Amino acid sequence: MHEMSLMGDIIQLVQEDAEAKGIKRLEKIELLVGEIANAMPDALRMAFAIIREQNPQLFSETAELVIHLEEAKAECVLCGHVYRPEQKIALCPQCNIPSGRMLSGETFQVLSYEGE
């Protein structure tokens, strides 16, 4: 489950930033995750729960992970049609060839976090 290492990396980044700001305990982390970012929200939530259990000094008991999903969108470079691709290789439904250029849906970033 690569979400485990993704989540570990994110928490490490957040932790470093929080320490620099004098924040000792995390209450909430908000992520923006694209539909085709290759990270499953359920697996991310599970990874977060495991890491929270393992690091009780870093998280409050009610610490939560909030995931905002970013819808995938692609634009066909040939006909200009904007559509919602199923996967990274975007097959234009009008041209029937993989001519899509990704507009959104691949994002994976920390939007914000809270703590005290």
Residue ranges in contact with Zn ion by CB under 5 A: 76, 78-79, 81, 92, 94-95
65/92 with CB nearer Zn ion: 92
> Smallest distance, Å, CB 83 to Zn ion?
8
Question: Whole-number minimum distance, CB 79 to Zn ion, in Å?
Answer: 3
Q: How far is the C-alpha of 10 from the C-alpha of 4, rounded, in Å?
A: 10
In whole angstroms, the minimum distance from the beta carbon of 42 to Zn ion comes to: 33
Residue closer to Zn ion, measured from CB, 85 or 105: 85
Q: Are 48 and 7 in contact (CB under 8 A)?
A: yes
Backbone angle region of 38, left / alpha / beta, with phi > 0 → left and psi within -120 to 50 → alpha: left
Supply the minimum distance, in Å, between the C-beta of residue 93 and Zn ion: 8
H or E segment to which residue 12 belongs? helix 2-20
Cβ proximity to Zn ion: between 12 and 94 the closer is 94
Buried b / exposed e along 24-54 (16+ C-beta atoms within 10 A): eebeebebbbbbbbebebeebbbbbeebbee
Measured from the CB atom, the residue of 4 and 102 that comes closer to Zn ion is 102
